[in-house]
Amino acid sequence: MTDNTLSEALKEAYASTPSNITILHTLELRHPAFKDEKGNSTAIRVVRDNVNHICKLEDNAPLDGGKEVEFVALAFDLELPPVENIPVPEISLSLDNVSTEIMRYLDQAIETQDMIEMTYRPYLSNDLSCPQMDPPITLVITEITADISKISATARMMDIGNKSFPAENYTVKKYPGLSR
């Protein structure tokens, strides 16, 4: 089964792997507790490469949409979900040699009930103007373990099959007309 979210350029790069063009795998981790020094929302952005890259995000990105942002070089490994009809696709992820800054962000996230969202975006080394997947894969981290040198996580798509619809709860407190 083919993946229709991949751009033609990325499909060509996967098929022919030209030696002068590399596929840059990037990850963005977001959480409401991730704040910069000024108190603004921020994200952890990493690229699987040995140098940092400035890449432009898609216009409808959850944070900094349409802006050029820096992805920091970091060794990581991920296993993308198969292009199949499985109930809830999930990926395995491991980040090696994590910095104390990333650990600080994760410690802040642990103190809340909110989930960490992760977006995977592939770029081509000769075209950093947009991700080569539309839309990028966005998942929620469901399991995470960390030690001084490595973070391992499992992320999965939102399980919309088990969400209530409509998402609003009709309670007597909110809607007094429900009581008799």
- 150 membership: H or E segment, kind and range: strand 150-156
Single pTM value for the model: 0.77
10-residue mean pLDDT profile of the chain (180 residues): values are: 67 70 92 89 93 95 94 88 68 85 85 89 92 89 85 78 61 79
Q: In whole angstroms, what is the distance from residue 36 CA to residue 51 CA?
A: 22
Pairing of the two strands 137-146 and 117-124: antiparallel
pLDDT at 14: 66
pLDDT at 162: 53
Q: Any residues with CB less than 8 A from the CB of 3 and at least 6 apart, and which?
A: 83
- Beta-bridged to residue 45, according to DSSP, are 28
Q: Any residues with CB less than 8 A from the CB of 32 and at least 6 apart, and which?
A: 41, 112, 114
Inter-residue contact 55 to 77 (CB < 8 Å):
no
**H helices, E strands: number in the chain:** 2, 9
Q: In whole angstroms, what is the distance from residue 26 CA to residue 8 CA?
A: 19
| Exposure string for 49-85, b = 16+ CB within 10 A, e = fewer | beeebebbbbeebebeeeeebebbebebebeebeeee
Q: In whole angstroms, what is the distance from residue 33 CA to residue 108 CA?
A: 6
**What is the chain's percent helix, strand, coil content, to nearest 5?**
15, 40, 45
